[in-house]
Structure 1
């Protein structure tokens, strides 16, 4: 027991020390580079922020699909942390979970299980934050398109209309359009800025918006009228989707409770009575029974969840 706890504590302490040193070194390097390029204007400041914010490990593993997905998930959730910081947080939480599992159960399997659950918590938190953020964006997007159309009809250019949305709309729409406006103002092509906006906000409404602007930039036409029609379509689509979500709420929550109740009750019984599952664990058919139960539980949850998903 003591050796197992020591084996789990040592990597955790090393991870925390290395992570703290790495964050301190990166912030020190950032301050030094900003002080050295203070006369380079806003474009130089943005280049310094991006190069220093990526981190050395992100630069080394920048082509990795895992690093790209972690960075994209953090951006879509509204967090400006790098993939390195996210992985350090996952390692720290997983280490704490492993220590608690080993202390409570005294077994390596319990420590590994708690480490997996703890390591998944930051990812689940970011997924939940991304879902909430995308939901707010969908609610505000039709008003943002209306504001752009009115600004263009008043004689402003598209960049000025996007800048107006970045100043007047509430969060999180303000942040996304302000970033797009800053990118265009610092010399980025409008088509590339739209592509980055679509990558940060992967919703159907945003795809329609970016496609409409790209088509108008290539073939011409009355952009204000196009955006007015697009705003009306988006608003009606959102109303229909909201009505469908209300009708399918019972099925969605039934799937969540059916899927989570066996796991939650198993964890509750395991911690309240540590020897409750010993007869099952000592049985030779325990792996087959547990695996079959988890597989059927997963299949049932996915079927119920898929039936409750309605696309408009």
Structure 2
């Protein structure tokens, strides 16, 4: 018993609250600033839960699976994660864990013979924050949010997502989920943002453009609010079988309809929107009064 306790205590002490990785590091190192590790996967086991992994210089730091609360920060370097044949980042943490990914370049190597599948695949977590990241090139979805955690939340801020064969952001939670996308660009995917039942999504001051299908695709049982968004030059602008509210937004230049509803879906307009230059523009199903 004493030997077991001693071993557990030693392992806890071996983990640091802040670790470091470098393009010239070594995963055999302790991941300190003076002896950094080489990859995120190498550093995560040496970082305590709720700790932070910082990047010292530019480099390719490999794919990783995250199983606890942690922050990855590539401040000043836009640390690169290049992966083929699998997700670049998988998050499979606890129901109350908080994961933050900041200042990262996540490259699925789209033109490789075996490109990555997902940019970021979220299977389980309480809160995931993705900030100032570039996520591009893969065979499925850029951000795949399918958390089984109750009341899970995803926050995407100042991100650029492009070049995926599926959706830029795919939302299909098994429990009530909240998603907020702010100041981001999503382009050149099969679908821009795709929301399914059980999700409540806010898209604020973001650009969704040049996606082959719908810019925003809302399934039955899903709710999406667009505020100050621009949806342009997609196949369809907004396709709704769920509930959409449109405020202070522009929908223009689609090759197909600007607004489209099906299966009892709704698109309600609020305040000032510009819907023009689509084929056809389509009509909202109603409006909400100013209060």
Comparing both chains, which one has the higher relative contact order based on Cα–Cα distances under 8 Å and sequence gaps of 6 or more? Answer: 1
Larger helix share, 1 or 2: 1
Task: Give TM-score, length-normalised by structure 2.
Answer: 0.27
TM-score by length of 1: 0.25
